[in-house]
Amino acid sequence: MVDTHDRALVRRLLGLAPAATHEPLDVRRRPAPSPPGAPDVAVEHVVLVTPDGEVPCWLLTPEQPRNVAVVAVHQHGGEFGRGKSEIAGIAGAPHLAYGLRTAQAGAVVVCPDLEGFEERQRGWTTDPAADEKLDAFHRVARGSSLQAQHTRDVAVATTWLREEVGAGSRLGIVGHSLGGQVALFSLAFDPRLSRGVVSCGAATVASLVRDRIPHNPAWFVPGLVPAGDLPALAAELRDQRVLVTAGGADPLFPADGVRDVLDAFAPGVCTGLPFDGGHELPADVLATAVEFLLAL
20-39 confidence digits (pLDDT tens): 999 999 999 999 999 999 99
- On the CB side of 218, CA atoms within 13 Å amount to 26
- For residues 190 and 155, the answer to whether their CB atoms sit within 8 Å is yes
Specify the DSSP element, H or E, that contains 119. none
Q: Is residue 235 in some structural domain?
A: yes
Q: Is residue 1 in some structural domain?
A: no
- For residues 33 and 60, the answer to whether their CB atoms sit within 8 Å is no
Distance CA 139, CA 26 (A): 25
On the question of pLDDT at 1 being above 50, the answer is no
Q: Is residue 3 in some structural domain?
A: no
Phi/psi at 21 (5° precision): -80, -10
Q: What is the pTM of this model?
A: 0.96
Distance CA 172, CA 177 (A): 17
On the question of pLDDT at 282 being above 90, the answer is yes
Distance CA 113, CA 55 (A): 6
Q: Is residue 232 in some structural domain?
A: yes
**Other CB atoms within 10 A of residue 3 CB:** 15
Residues 6+ apart with CB under 8 A from 59: 29, 43, 44, 45, 46, 108, 109, 110, 111, 164
Which residue range forms the structural domain that includes residue 285?
A: 8-294
Query: What pLDDT band is residue 5 in, cutting at 50, 70 and 90?
Result: low
Phi/psi at 181 (5° precision): -55, -50
63-83 tens-digit pLDDT: 999 999 999 999 999 999 999
- On the CB side of 24, CA atoms within 13 Å amount to 21
The CATH number of whichever domain residue 228 belongs to comes to 3.40.50.1820
* Interior angle at CA 20, CA 19 and CA 26, nearest 5: 110
Rounded mean pLDDT of the chain?
Answer: 95
Least confident range of 1-5, 20-24, 93-97, 121-125: 1-5
Q: Is residue 207 in some structural domain?
A: yes
Question: Higher model confidence: residue 52 or residue 188?
Answer: 188
Q: Would strands 241-247 and 41-50 be described as parallel, antiparallel, or unpaired?
A: unpaired
213-236 tens-digit pLDDT: 989 999 999 999 999 999 999 999
Query: What pLDDT band is residue 164 in, cutting at 50, 70 and 90?
Result: very high
Q: Tell me the β-bridge partners of 49.
A: 26, 54
Distance CA 128, CA 111 (A): 21
Distance CA 260, CA 202 (A): 9
Q: Tell how far CA 201 is from the center of its chain.
A: 9
On the question of pLDDT at 118 being above 90, the answer is yes
On the question of pLDDT at 155 being above 60, the answer is yes
CA distances from 271 to 48, 58, 292 (A): 33, 29, 10
pLDDT over 70 for what percent of the chain?
A: 98
Q: Is residue 2 in some structural domain?
A: no
Structure letter (DSSP) for residue 124:
S
Count of structural domains, the chain = 1
